[in-house]
Amino acid sequence: MSYLPAITTSIHNPRLRLLNALRANAKPIMTFLGLPSFRSAQIIAQTGIDGIIIDCEHGHISDDSMHTSTAAIAALGVSPLVRVRMTHADLIKRALDTGAHGIVVPQINTAEEARAVVSYSKFPPQGIRGQGSAFPAIAHGIDIPTYLQTANETLITCVQIESKAGVENVDAICAVPGVDMVFIGPNDLALSILGYVPAKGTEPEFVTAIEKIVAAARKHGKWVGRLSNDGASCKEHLKVFDTAAMSYDVRAMQNWYTAELQLARS
């Protein structure tokens, strides 16, 4: 099956902020949303961020919160992505039916798993995604027929590489047609390779694993991103990566209060 990938699509929709920035090599910055709050989604979307990953894997996000957060983010001109819990057709369909501009799928360890993700995220004939929701077109600023015609080549299908097995198979994973981006989960990757977190970032096996992932992505024409803990590390990562997800709403709140309380009590 042939695919027209998002990285080369000729379709331009100004609402797809993250996709447009990636295609322009503008080094877009994302973040993670883990709290089930319509207002948090609105506030973060007004900061200048390019994309927000609604975290249905580790975050406190229900099905209802996934829908409201996606709508709030898209309405403010930012790209909502949904990180699903696993490689399951129903979860991927449900995430895309909110109007998400893409999906992030964790713990991809084989090319077979990556091919399944692509199949679940594409309408026929490229995949098996079912159609029935009116919401995606709203979040894309288009009508339903246009969404059906354009979704297969404008939605970002992102798979996470975060294990020894994923690194071992990363070349085959990146070769899968329809995978648009690989995303490094450094904490799970460190746990799998080193047995502890956080990684210092200088461990030879950890550095080699990241370099291997980046090289495979470049070889097969995929975008590659990663998590960054803060602005300084994000700036450095963007020298190598196409995009980075800077921190997480929960950590940002914790870090601010911790730092300011230390200052207040010093």
- In tens, the pLDDT along 211-233 reads 999 999 999 999 999 999 999 99
Mean pLDDT of the chain: 96
What is the spatial distance between Cα 128 and Cα 123, in angstroms, rounded to a whole number?
A: 6
Spatial CA neighbour of 79 closest among 26, 5, 148, 119: 26
Q: Report the pLDDT averaged over residues 71-88.
A: 97
DSSP-derived secondary structure letter, 206: H
Section 10-38 average pLDDT: 97
Burial status of residue 111 (CB atoms within 10 A of its CB: 0-12, 13-18, 19 or more): middle
- Catalytic (active site) residue 58: yes
Q: Which residue of the set 12, 58, 67, 101 is catalytic?
A: 58
Exposed, middle or buried, 15 (CB in 10 Å: 0-12/13-18/19+)?
middle
Going by their DSSP bridges, the two strands 102-105 and 79-83 should be labelled as parallel
User: What would the mean pLDDT of 79-102 be, rounded to a whole number?
Assistant: 97
What is the rounded distance in angstroms from the CA atom of residue 82 to the CA atom of residue 56? 7
Q: Which SS3 state, helix, strand or coil, does residue 128 take? A: coil
Share of the chain above pLDDT 70, in %: 99
pLDDT of the residue at 4: 78
| pLDDT tens by residue, 186-203 | 999 999 999 999 999 999
Summarize pLDDT for 92-119 with one digit per residue, the tens.
Answer: 999 999 999 999 999 999 999 999 999 9
CB 240 within 8 A of CB 214: yes
Tell whether the model's pLDDT for residue 18 goes beyond 80.
yes
Across 36-40, average pLDDT: 95
Find how far residue 189's CA is from the centre of its chain: 16
List, for residues 128-155, the tens digit of each pLDDT value: 999 999 999 999 999 999 999 999 999 9
Q: Is the pLDDT of residue 40 over 90?
A: yes
CA R_g for the chain: 18
Residue 200's CB: how many other CB atoms inside 10 A? Answer: 10
17 — pLDDT class (breaks 50, 70, 90): very high
5 pLDDT band (50/70/90 cuts)? confident
Q: Can you read off the two tokens belonging to residue 39? A: 């207002």
Cβ neighbors of 79 (< 8 A, separation 6 or more) are 16, 17, 18, 19, 50, 51, 52, 73, 101, 102
Using the predicted structure, report yes or no on whether residue 1 has a pLDDT greater than 80. no
d(Cα 28, Cα 149) in Å, to the nearest integer?
26
In sign, the C-alpha dihedral spanning 10, 222, 226, 54 is positive
Task: Name the DSSP class of 227.
Answer: E
Per-residue pLDDT, 176: 97
Check whether 70 has a pLDDT greater than 80. yes
Reduced to 3 states (helix: H, G, I; strand: E, B; else coil), residue 91 is helix
Q: Which two tokens stand for residue 211?
A: 């370099």
Question: Rounded CA gap, 266 and 134, in Å?
Answer: 54
Checking if the pLDDT of 3 tops 80, the result is: no
